[in-house]
Structure 1
Amino acid sequence: MELMLMGRYRLLIIKIFGELDQHKASSVRENADRELGRTGAVNVAFNFENVTFMDSSGIGVIMGRYKTVTALGGKVIIYGASDAVNRLIEMSGIKSIVTVADNLENGVKEAGIDVQ
């Protein structure tokens, strides 16, 4: 996992590699929450370009960060997900509350994140 801050958008990018399952979910949660607090970011973007598998634990990671950032007035973006991961996102219903895009630039535009 890589974490990167785009200060211009107060956006924390969480890049995940491989599987996002029960074993990796707790690490992603802990690191994301720590970085949100440390950086002052209010928006989160999940880069799923290299995610090969995701289960319901991954949905839980997304929902937890969604609750955190919406309380701060922020938004969640998911981008670069495979067809299989996109199906899970759609079936879970979270597609109706987060922005799902092909790439980060489109995600930022679709989410309406203003430069602050």
Structure 2
Amino acid sequence: MMAAGQTFTYETRGQILIIHLPRELDHHNCRNLKYETDLLFSENYISKVVFDFSRTEFMDSSGIGILLNRYKQMAGSGGKVTLYGVNAQIGRILAIGGIHRLMENFDSKEEAIAG
């Protein structure tokens, strides 16, 4: 059983998939995220993915990997990926990983959905 705050929750709004990330995004739970989002993508037409970083305090290179993977998947089908709730520490990791050049980072959920 995973500790509270370590699991992903998902929300769909039409063709938009909102992924609420846990406190830590590492190689252990990134495997689950990949598996679960693969299932969601196969069952629904998704044109946009929104990553919610508002609870996330730690992320390793696996987190960058999953973001890039989802970005490529969405770009391949003409879709889009946005982020929100990124703190300064995670922001630095995203910048090092080149993510900020690929995905827009918004302050709020509603802006990220609209963006």
More helix by share: 1
Match among 31, 51, 72 for residue 36 of structure 2: 31
Q: Helix, strand or coil for the counterpart of 1:17?
A: coil
1:108 & 1:11 partners in 2: Cα distance? 8
Number of equivalent positions: 108
- SS for the counterpart of 2:79 is coil
Give 1:77's match in structure 2, choosing from 79, 82, 97.
Answer: 82
Helix, strand or coil at the partner of 1:77? strand
Q: Normalization by structure 1: what TM-score?
A: 0.88
How far does residue 108 in structure 1 lie from its aligned partner after superposition? 3.2
Amino acid at match of 1:69: M
**Equivalent pairs: percent with the same residue?**
31
Q: Which runs of 5+ in 2 are unaligned?
A: 1-7
C-alpha separation in 2, matches of 1:35 and 1:41: 8
RMSD: 1.1
- How many Å apart are 1:103 and its aligned residue? 1.3
Aligned-partner Cα distance in 1 for 2:10–2:113 = 17
The corresponding residue for 2:95 is 90
Of Structure 1 and Structure 2, the greater strand share is in 1
After superposition, where does 1:41-60 map in structure 2 within 5 Å?
41-60=46-65
Deviation at 1:109, TM superposition (A): 3.5
Cα distance in 2 for residues equivalent to 1:102 and 1:16: 15
TM superposition score normalised by structure 2: 0.88
Contact (CA 8 Å) 1:5, 1:39: kept in 2 or not? no
Alpha-carbon distance in structure 1 between the residues aligned to 2:56 and 2:111: 19
